Amino acid sequence: MAEKLFFKVPDKYDNVKAINFLKGECKLSARMITLLKREKNGILMDGKILRTIDFVYCGKIVEINLPDEEASLIEPVCGNLDIIYEDEHILAVNKPANMPVHPVKQHRTDTLANIVAYYQDENKQNFVFRAINRLDRDTSGIVIIAKNKYSANLLKNKVDKTYYAICHGKLTGEGTINEPIKLRDDSKMVRTISSDGLPSVTHYKSIAFNDKMSLIKLHLETGRTHQIRCHMASLGHPLIGDDLYGGTLEYLPRQALHCKSVSFLHPINNRLIELDSEFPEDMKNLILQQKLFDI
């Protein structure tokens, strides 16, 4: 069944062409508007077909009937889904470490997408899996999933994320790493600092430390692959458990990195959504063992 969105025309769009209202107030992309024009009753005003060349009037109700999408081809697999938030448009879950987000050649059925597909079947939902933020397989934390194209488009690059990590060495104070990142020439996976890389900015703050390691809080201005891991290694403080970037596996078998909190404006009602997740047990235990308590 098609999803319906309703928008009341405000004063500033009184007697304005529908195309301007749809792009400005409804935040519809040109591509989405084209798709809706092809749908029967795709765009209505007070129950009647609204063409993009028509005018809208203050107080009128514009109805958007989002087109149905093809069923997901991802294989449903039963698993534990730690849901933090859900409504008609968004699903937010706390992803454990050692779980890829999307199926790939080596991981076809053990991903977050597989478990979400099973959850959809059990709850009679049907939406294409669109992860707004993507975490590495061994990074734990919050993943935001949009249930339709409209929400996905509005949330793209609009989710504010806060990470916590445990890095090697004594790191004090706070700072910003503004170093471009690119794929290393001799690798299909490892990133490196390079003048011809993509702009990458990471803000960090030391929360607690001892002589061996530090608990740090991180905020990203950009979202490059392996950005935190690469940037922290460039400071000489690779993440605990991140042997790909110079860390050791002495304390943890995976990088000690967790996306702990996110915030964003809801794509439909513009309400501020703030979500938080618990530290995973492995990081929590290491924090306790090392007496990194100031969180």
Q: Which residues are catalytic?
A: 136
Structure tokens that stand for 208 in this block: 């607690």
| CB-based contacts of 255, cutoff 8 Å, min separation 6 | 136, 138, 139, 165, 229, 239, 240, 241, 242, 244, 247
Question: Cα dist. 163→14, 218, 256, 276 in Å?
Answer: 44, 5, 10, 11
Q: How many helices (H) and strands (E) would you count in the chain? A: 6, 18
Question: Cα dist. 149→44, 90, 153, 272 in Å?
Answer: 19, 11, 6, 20
CB 95 within 8 A of CB 89: no
Q: For residue 241, give the nearest of 137, 141, 102 by alpha carbon.
A: 137
Place of tokens 């992860």: 131
Q: For residue 74, give the nearest of 39, 95, 38, 103 by alpha carbon.
A: 103
Strands 201-209 and 213-220: antiparallel
